[in-house]
Amino acid sequence: MLKLAGARLLEERDAMLVRSVLDSAPVAACMVAARVEEAGIHPLRLGGELWGYGSKLTGMCFSGANLIPLRGGPDAMRAFADRALRRRRVCSSLVGPTEQVLALWDEVAAQWGPAREVRAEQPLMVLAESPHVAPDPLVRQVRPDELERYLPAAIAMFTEEVGVDPCSDGGAASYRARVADLIASGRAFARFEGGEVVFKAEIGALSRTVGQIQGVWVHPDRRSTGLGTAGTAAVADRLVRGLGRTASLYVNDYNVAARLAYRKVGFRRIGSFATVLL
């Protein structure tokens, strides 16, 4: 019986191949590409490891706070699973292209499961032109001095979306720091009314060519009023016209209202993501 080739830790000498893989699927790879462009490949700077499979990187996976398999067939996913299972689990989720995520989850589920939730179908959407609806002129970048007003909305969004309070189990300081960093980097946007956030969204990842919108949230008292549509259009417009990027996002298939809103803005579906919450 032939022994399955293993996954290997990618190094600086692999940089050209890595860039080629990331450039081949710029929207799906945005989360990883943004990290690599900023920090390079070395794990200490990257905040995780890049694993490769095959001499020409027919498979590639990022291992950090999230496990993100970007490409590869069944053999590559088995190799990545083998490498992941030989160490303590550090990721809180698997996320990425549906085919790779579900195949990798099948390989690790027996030891890592059961999952809190498997979201097997999340449309991946893009907008490369001006929004089809008028952007909300009151949506703007959040200032660092507005952290205390913005933070409750960020916590509410995370809790609704993930099903876990990010401040539980001693996570308050790290989540606060993460939100503060998004604000400081100019990637948090909100509409304030009476000092309270009624709409928020963030650019969670920003590569040379793509910006990924995340954390879209509307205050419960203001939902179904068009705030989400116009607010998302404002952030997408910032990405497309302001920063010269393609705007992207992925959304749960069961969130019909959000999917309708994104289509109104002009987003079109180009693929599917999946997320396994651990």
- Residue 117 has phi, psi (to 5 degrees) of -165, 140
pLDDT profile of the chain (278 residues), mean per 10: 73 95 97 96 95 95 97 97 95 97 98 96 98 98 97 95 90 94 97 97 98 97 96 98 98 96 98 97
pLDDT (0 to 100) of residue 5:
74
Can you give the residue ranges of every domain in the chain?
8-113, 140-270
pLDDT (0 to 100) of residue 160:
92
- Residue 264 has phi, psi (to 5 degrees) of -60, -40
pLDDT (0 to 100) of residue 264:
98
pLDDT (0 to 100) of residue 4:
56
The predicted model scores a pTM of: 0.94
Short-list 218, 236, 232, 273, CA closest to 251 = 273
User: What's the CATH code, domain 140-270?
Assistant: 3.40.630.30
pLDDT (0 to 100) of residue 2:
42
E strand spans, the chain: 8-9, 49-53, 59-63, 66-71, 93-97, 117-127, 140-141, 188-193, 196-206, 210-218, 246-250, 268-277
pLDDT (0 to 100) of residue 169:
87
pLDDT (0 to 100) of residue 119:
97
